């Protein structure tokens, strides 16, 4: 994805030091931020936008739905708020 001057893939340390860390500095983001932190942020933003958990599981490449919910389930507050009302409505 990010080739070096010879057209070969950058090594992790080369990418981090020469591309990622300077980009963080230019963006005003803490240089202790890791690439994986960006993944977590993207998934959290998808959850906040209302994306379905199964879609998130597939998008994130998790092996199963349980992995997604174990890792990010706490970010779905209030998704059960309407459960009782919905069940009551079905009964009526």
Q: Quick: pLDDT tens for 62-71.
A: 999 899 888 8
Instruction: Find the length of the chain.
Output: 92
CB 47 within 8 A of CB 56: yes
CB 47 within 8 A of CB 72: yes
Which sequence spans correspond to the domains of the chain?
Answer: 12-80
Q: Quick: pLDDT tens for 73-85.
A: 888 876 666 777 8
Q: Quick: pLDDT tens for 10-63.
A: 888 888 998 899 999 999 999 999 988 999 999 999 988 988 889 999 999 999
pTM of structure? 0.65
H helices present in the chain, as ranges: 12-15, 21-27, 35-48, 53-60, 65-72, 83-91
CB 20 within 8 A of CB 31: no
CB 3 within 8 A of CB 16: no
Distance between CA atoms of 3 and 5, rounded to whole angstroms? 7
């Amino acid at each position: 994805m990010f080739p070096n001057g010879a057209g070969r893939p950058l090594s992790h340390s080369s990418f981090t030091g020469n591309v990622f860390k300077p980009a963080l500095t230019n963006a005003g983001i803490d240089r202790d931020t890791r690439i994986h932190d960006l993944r977590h942020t993207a998934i959290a933003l998808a959850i906040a936008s209302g994306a379905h958990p199964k879609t998130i599981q597939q998008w994130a490449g998790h092996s199963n739905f349980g992995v997604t919910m174990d890792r990010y389930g706490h970010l779905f507050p209030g998704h059960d708020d309407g459960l009782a009302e919905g069940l009551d409505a079905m009964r009526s």
